[in-house]
Amino acid sequence: MARSPVGIRRRLGVNAVLGVLAVASVVMLGAQARPAGAAGLATSPAKTRLAVPYVPEAKPAMAVAQPGPGVLPPATAGWSARPLAESIEVKANAAPDAAVVGVFSNINTYGDPQTFAVRAELWGMDGRPWLRVQLPIRPNGAEGFVPADSVRVEGHDQKFVVMRSTGVLQRYQFGQLNGEWLVTVGTSSRPTPLGTFYVWTIWRHETAAYGAGVLALDGHSEVLGPHNWPGEARLAIHGNARPAQLGGPGSSGCPRMLDRDIAPLLGSVPLGTPVEIVA
């Protein structure tokens, strides 16, 4: 867990959809200072994980009345978007006069570029390309709409999957499994939330509570909040795992890794990287 004050808003839905992505992995943050630093790439030394690697469920193509605007670049794992202006209004619908879900600064509360996950592209009610985006606010999975020309879109070929039942974290690149680690997951009373998330901010600094660093996600604990946890109980993948708890429950919801495993990821995982947490 780590600290993270934050404030923003809420969700919705609309129109034609094209290009959905899946993602996984998380952790909760409570109170701590903003860090610095970086690292390279690595794989876990442990070899015995699963008999069969997780294979994302194949989803049938959706029938749409008309093709999407085609503003999303090629990507095998998903997309993210960053505001071009100093702030951006996220709408409840793909229309200029729709209600405002929230106003977001182009820099988040930890000093990183504000990042949204892109869930679909579509034609707006004004005839312009719009994007349906996932927001870093409660409830988990909250969404809104932004004009495509108000953000810079980035494609991702890397994603992470957290398998809660086995305490395994997997990394996929270009659709292929190329990294696997044992992690500590949440307990039955403070479970690791299921769902599709993305890396929202990164702490590249060693602390007593979070070890070598933190990959903070857009999501939050579904049972903890400011009343019983410092800050906002944001999810994240972080260090400081107890070896005896790897592969099973033991955290307050955050997937914890050994410091030697997470340290190389802190400099190789871009903001917006998809993270999927499955049962």
Q: pTM for the full model?
A: 0.78
- Say if residue 39's pLDDT is above 90: no
Sequence letter at residue 34: R
Q: What is the mean predicted confidence (pLDDT) over 201-209?
A: 95
pLDDT confidence bin for 75, thresholds 50/70/90:
very high
SS (H, E, C) 41-70: CCCCCCCCCCCCCCCCCCCCCCCCCCCCCC
| Residue 161: DSSP 8-state | E
* Non-local CB neighbours of 74 within 8 Å, separated by 6+ positions: 155
Fold (CATH) for 158-278: L,D-transpeptidase catalytic domain-like (2.40.440)
pLDDT in tens, 3-19: 443 333 333 333 333 23
Q: What is the mean predicted confidence (pLDDT) over 54-68?
A: 46
Q: How many C-beta neighbours within 10 Å does residue 245 have?
A: 17
Cα separation, 268 vs 41, whole angstroms:
6
pLDDT confidence bin for 117, thresholds 50/70/90:
very high
Cβ–Cβ < 8 Å for 207, 254: no
Closest CA to 180 of 88, 54, 270, 33: 54
Q: What is the mean predicted confidence (pLDDT) over 153-163?
A: 98
pLDDT confidence bin for 68, thresholds 50/70/90:
confident
Q: What is the pLDDT of residue 230?
A: 86
Q: What is the pLDDT of residue 66?
A: 60
Q: What is the pLDDT of residue 57?
A: 43
Q: How many C-beta neighbours within 10 Å does residue 247 have?
A: 18
Select the highest-mean-pLDDT range: 28-32, 45-49, 197-201. Answer: 197-201
Q: What is the mean predicted confidence (pLDDT) over 38-51?
A: 30
pLDDT confidence bin for 51, thresholds 50/70/90:
very low
User: What is the token pair recorded at 249?
Assistant: 């429950």
Q: Is the dihedral of CA 197, 159, 31, 103 positive or negative?
A: negative
Q: What is the pLDDT of residue 142?
A: 97
Q: What is the pLDDT of residue 101?
A: 96
- Say if residue 52's pLDDT is above 50: no
Q: Mean pLDDT in the chain?
A: 82
* Non-local CB neighbours of 195 within 8 Å, separated by 6+ positions: 140, 141, 219, 276, 277
In the chain, how many H helices and how many E strands? 1, 16
Q: What is the pLDDT of residue 35?
A: 36
Q: What is the pLDDT of residue 98?
A: 97
